[in-house]
Amino acid sequence: MARKEKIRKIKKKKSDRIRFGFRSLAFRYSIFFILAVMLIFLVSFIYTLVYTTQILAKEADNDISKTMELTITRLEKTFQEAEEVPKVLARFVGTADPNYSEMRKVLQGIVLSEPYIYGTSMAFEPYAFLKDSLYYALYSYQVGTEIRTRFLGGDSYNYFEREWYKKAKDEGKAVWTEPYYDEGGGDTLMCTYSVPLFRDVKGKETFIGVLTLDISLSAIGRAIAQIKVYESGYAFLVSGEGVIIYHPDSTLITQNIFTLASDSIRPRFQSLAKRIQDSSEVNKVIILGRTTNTTKVELLPSTGWYLVVVFPVLEVFGDLLDFLKYLGIIFLFSILAVFIVTILITRRLTKPLRKLVKATHQIGQGDFDLELPRVKRRDEIGVLANSFTVMLDKLKEHIASLQKTTSEKEKIESELNIAHTIQMGMLPREFPLRSEFELFAVLDSARAVGGDLYDFFFLDKDHMFISVGDVSGKGVPASLFMTVVRTLFRSRTMDGQPLHQIMALINKELCKDNPNVMFVTMVSGIINLRTGTIDLCNAGHNLPLIMDREGEVRRMDLFSAIPLGIKEYHGYKTEKIQLKPGDRLVLYTDGVTEALNAKGEFYNESYLKEVLHEHRRADVPTLVKKVVDSIHQFALDVEQADDITMLILGYQKSSESAEVPLERKSIQLPNQLEKLHTIVETVEEISRDWNISSKASMELNLVLEELFTNIVFYAFTDKKEHLIDITFSLSSSGILEVVLVDDGKYFDLIEASEEVNLDAALEERKVGGLGIHFVKQVMDEMSYERKRGKNVVTLRKYIK
Amino acid sequence: MEITEKKAENCTVVSINGRLDTTNYSVLEKKLMELIDAGDIRLLVNLSNMDYVSSSGLRILLMALKRITMAKGKFTLCSLQENIQEIFEISGFTNIFEIYPNEEEGLKAF
């Protein structure tokens, strides 16, 4: 267990000691700060990225568009120039009637005029040029550096069915053919511009033939190949029908992109084909594509061809990506720097806090005198540190005052304890042992000092004063007042005045100087022990109870005057009551009947009567103790608000009673067990003479045997002979009294007798101790006195 | 005081005649202990002729009862006189002893 405790302690220490952990303020706030900075950086980074990308894309688009435009303009110019030539020539053929040599000259001139004009021809309708010739077509073209001219047409080359002838004838206007490989004609990949020739025959425009211009595509290809798009971008040309006119990959030339698209070997042609089919996609500005390559398509208006530019996106943004990479690295370093700076700052900020934490631990261990760290700052932490200092001062003050009050309280408590001892010491504890009466009283203080009192003292040989009172209020004032009351009674009662006068006198004295108007309720009495008459006076107190020999309990009906100490008053009454032998007068305070239990119920008078009745056969001290015990059992752990006081006076009968004994017999026996038979004989004798029943006689025998053997066995420590006196007497009222006197050692058999548990099981039953129990059970009264060095035991039995 | 004993079918009947008091209880003590030590632990004590008993006498009866109960025997009383019965009641012994109104019934119980 000790180990566990230790571990827990260490753990606690660790968590308490805030240095620079993950829970520290510095760390947490740095993290928050860093996250915020990162977020801001990220947002601006993304914005920059998007913005620059857009700009770069736009610029790239512009650049490429410009390049394409330039190329297209050049091509367009070429085509327009090319278109001009046949038109002029057509007019010339339409109006004039040129011969072969003129025509040859013109055609060769055209071929020479432009490098990309591969060849030119003039083809006529059947028999239109010469009446006897079906075909007539003249074609001039380049072969290396020289120009050749030859006739076209024949069974193997029916030019009327050729696209360049048919299309121009059918549409009646100049047309561009699709690129084709002209076998038997130019023997090269070319495109032909065909212009129809008309002549005015009798005022009517009549088609007579076609004039063509062959453009060598390799020449155009060279122009397009010159287009440079970034590092690896390239351009190619597609006809309106989708035939690739030029492509850097020469194997693709003359292939149709629609065929290629359906082939799906080259997926990029699919999107291209789609864009050409759906002309709206043409000219679209390039977008940062998902694919690595981006394509831009532009239409050539004169021919209906498309210029396609393909370029890798990465090259467009190449610099941007590099830039972003550097930006990222800078960003990371900045964050690290910010992080370190934040930590340093927060650590600096929280340094006083950590010192305060350390100080708190020391204070927690009771070190209030430690010097708190000086914090000069005026911010919140400074304020905290200052209030901490103030708190420590207040705490010191508070603890000091607490210590002071505690020690003062302890002092008061110990003084109260002393007061309690003094107060209790004032109550008479030595209860008189007289054969004519029994007296016992108990005072149970609710607090250290209480306001209840009981008192008794002899006025003379035969008269005794008794009282029970309850001072208003509790605590020290009540106990002081009680002391005053007691002292007054002790000093004033000796005078032999009647009780009501004594009460009135003391009342007057108490009223005289009583600014706090304290008062005391009280029942006082003076008993004549010889006659059994008692004078009682009640000043506002609980009415006493009286229990007769049979255990019948009743409340005494006394006049209740006002309590003592309230005002001067002369209405106190002395009431005379005659006690019968065996009567028990019960005086008590309301602490008895108003004892509370946990349910809030009162002990009350009727229960008190029951308890008294139950223990009617017990002697007076036992009776009082039984009642007090029953109160404690009733209340259990409930703390009582009031003192519990009870005084019981049991009146027996004066030994010097007015009743003269009718009969009397005395015997004297030596302390020898064999003398028991003398007792038996004497008992037999008096039983016969005094007319005592055999049952009573036997009981008397039993009792005397027990007492006699007891004396013989235990009373004498020497071996000498001692005499034991036994006196029997019978009074007129039928009381049989037996008095045993021995000069043995002190032995109060009433005190020594222990209660015998009659219900105990066999195993618990003691073999001895029965004798005194018999005596108690059989006799009605039993008393003990030590008189002049002798033990006097008086037994009484009512036999009539 | 006089003590007589006789063997019955299942037990021994001990009769006490006269006074049992401090002067003579040791006679009864000796007699009962002899019987118990001899293994006679089934005893019926007839008290029909006992007209006085003191606490010392009761003590011997209680002692005998304890000894015999420990030895798993049986110790009963019968035929108590009225005043003896009263003494037994006062001492609470009626709760401890098995008491029969006469010897016949006392024997039946064995």
A701 in contact with chain B, both atoms CB, cutoff 8 A: yes
Domain-embedded: residue A14: no
B66 in contact with chain A, both atoms CB, cutoff 8 A: yes
Q: Are A650 and A439 in contact (CB under 8 A)?
A: yes
What is the Cβ-side half-sphere exposure of residue B19, based on CA atoms within 13 angstroms? 12
Span of A91-100, A508-517, A791-800 with lowest mean pLDDT: A91-100
Q: Which of A607, A626, A651 is the last residue of a domain?
A: A651
Give the largest CA-CA distance in chain A. Answer: 208
Query: Which pLDDT score, from 0 to 100, does residue A1 have?
Result: 45
Q: Is pLDDT above 50 for A29?
A: yes
Regarding whether A566 and A501 lie in a shared domain, the answer is yes
Res. A724 pLDDT band, cuts 50 70 90: very high
Domain-embedded: residue A15: no
Residue indicated by tokens 């009626």: B94
Contact between B91 and A758 using a beta-carbon 8 Å cutoff: yes
What is the Cβ-side half-sphere exposure of residue A143, based on CA atoms within 13 angstroms? 9
CATH class in words for B2-108: alpha beta
Contact between B52 and A676 using a beta-carbon 8 Å cutoff: no
Query: Which pLDDT score, from 0 to 100, does residue A96 have?
Result: 67
Segment B65-88, tens digit of pLDDT: 988 998 899 999 999 998 899 888
Average pLDDT, chain A: 81
Query: Which pLDDT score, from 0 to 100, does residue A12 have?
Result: 45
Residue A348: CATH number of its domain: 1.10.8.500
B20 in contact with chain A, both atoms CB, cutoff 8 A: no
A758 in contact with chain B, both atoms CB, cutoff 8 A: yes
Contact between B54 and A768 using a beta-carbon 8 Å cutoff: no
Segment A770-784, tens digit of pLDDT: 777 888 888 888 888
Query: Which pLDDT score, from 0 to 100, does residue A717 have?
Result: 86
Contact between A759 and B87 using a beta-carbon 8 Å cutoff: no
A281's CB contacts (< 8 A; 6+ apart) are A274, A275, A297
Regarding whether A174 and A88 lie in a shared domain, the answer is yes
Span of A372-381, A553-562, B6-15, B24-33 with lowest mean pLDDT: A372-381
Q: Are A711 and A742 in contact (CB under 8 A)?
A: yes
Regarding whether A519 and A667 lie in a shared domain, the answer is no
Segment A697-716, tens digit of pLDDT: 888 988 998 899 888 888 88
**Domain span holding position A237:** 22-316
Regarding whether A112 and A180 lie in a shared domain, the answer is yes
Span of A76-80, A95-99, A722-726 with lowest mean pLDDT: A95-99
Segment A334-349, tens digit of pLDDT: 888 888 888 888 888 7
Backbone phi and psi for residue A166, each to the nearest 5 degrees, phi listed first: -65, -45
B102 in contact with chain A, both atoms CB, cutoff 8 A: no
Regarding whether A338 and A401 lie in a shared domain, the answer is yes
Res. A656 pLDDT band, cuts 50 70 90: very low
Q: Is pLDDT above 60 for A284?
A: no
- Minimum Cα–Cα distance from A693: chain B residue: B83
Regarding whether A405 and A363 lie in a shared domain, the answer is yes
- Minimum Cα–Cα distance from B64: chain A residue: A767
Regarding whether A515 and A632 lie in a shared domain, the answer is yes
Q: What is the mean pLDDT of residues A546-567?
A: 89
More confident residue, A195 or A647: A647
Regarding whether A498 and A624 lie in a shared domain, the answer is yes
Segment A608-645, tens digit of pLDDT: 999 999 998 888 989 999 999 999 889 888 887 788 89
CA dist., res. A671 & res. A592, Å (int)? 48
Domain-embedded: residue A136: yes
- Count how many domains chain A has: 4
Q: What is the mean pLDDT of residues A247-259?
A: 80
DSSP A3-29: HHHHHHHHHHHHHH--SSSTTSHHHHH
CA dist., res. A42 & res. A327, Å (int)? 11
Segment A423-455, tens digit of pLDDT: 788 888 888 877 788 899 999 887 666 778 899
Regarding whether A328 and A234 lie in a shared domain, the answer is no
Q: Tell me which chain A residues have a C-beta less than 8 angstroms from the C-beta of B73.
A: none
Q: Tell me which chain A residues have a C-beta less than 8 angstroms from the C-beta of B52.
A: 698, 701-702
More confident residue, A751 or A486: A486
Regarding whether A403 and A489 lie in a shared domain, the answer is no
Long-range contacts of A171-178 (CB under 8 A, 24+ apart): A171/A196, A172/A196, A172/A207, A174/A83, A174/A86, A174/A87, A176/A79, A176/A302, A176/A303, A176/A304, A178/A239, A178/A240, A178/A241, A178/A243
Q: Which of A295, A316, A337 is the last residue of a domain?
A: A316
Domain-embedded: residue A16: no
Q: Which of B54, B95, B96 sits opposite A705 (nearest CB)?
A: B54
What is the Cβ-side half-sphere exposure of residue A712, based on CA atoms within 13 angstroms? 16
Res. A661 pLDDT band, cuts 50 70 90: low
Q: Which two tokens stand for residue A12?
A: 């606690």
Res. A738 pLDDT band, cuts 50 70 90: very high
Regarding whether A533 and A505 lie in a shared domain, the answer is yes
Segment A525-552, tens digit of pLDDT: 999 888 888 999 999 999 999 998 888 9
Res. A467 pLDDT band, cuts 50 70 90: very high
Domain regions of chain B by residue span: 2-108
CA dist., res. A317 & res. A327, Å (int)? 15
B92 in contact with chain A, both atoms CB, cutoff 8 A: yes
Segment A172-222, tens digit of pLDDT: 888 888 777 766 555 677 888 888 888 777 777 788 888 888 887 777 777
Q: Which of A698, A774, A778 sits opposite B52 (nearest CB)?
A: A698
Segment A88-138, tens digit of pLDDT: 777 777 666 677 888 888 888 888 877 778 888 888 888 877 777 788 888
A584's CB contacts (< 8 A; 6+ apart) are A546, A547, A548, A612, A620, A623, A648, A649, A650, A651
Res. A13 pLDDT band, cuts 50 70 90: very low
Regarding whether A432 and A405 lie in a shared domain, the answer is no
Q: Tell me which chain A residues have a C-beta less than 8 angstroms from the C-beta of B66.
A: 762-763, 767
A254's CB contacts (< 8 A; 6+ apart) are A179, A181, A189, A243, A244
Q: Which two tokens stand for residue A452?
A: 């209840």
Residue indicated by tokens 């009605």: A780
Q: Which two tokens stand for residue A518?
A: 């304290």
Q: Is pLDDT above 70 for A495?
A: no
| DSSP-assigned beta bridge partners for residue B12 | B7, B43
Q: Give A773→chain B minimum CA distance, Å.
A: 8
Domain-embedded: residue A4: no
Q: Is pLDDT above 50 for A290?
A: no
Pick from B22, B51, B93 the residue to mutate for testing the A interface (most A CBs within 10 Å): B22
A693 in contact with chain B, both atoms CB, cutoff 8 A: no
Query: Which pLDDT score, from 0 to 100, does residue A754 have?
Result: 62
A696 in contact with chain B, both atoms CB, cutoff 8 A: no
Q: Give A735→chain B minimum CA distance, Å.
A: 21
Query: Which pLDDT score, from 0 to 100, does residue A15 have?
Result: 44
Q: Give B26→chain A minimum CA distance, Å.
A: 13
More confident residue, A473 or A684: A684
Q: What is the mean pLDDT of residues A370-375?
A: 72
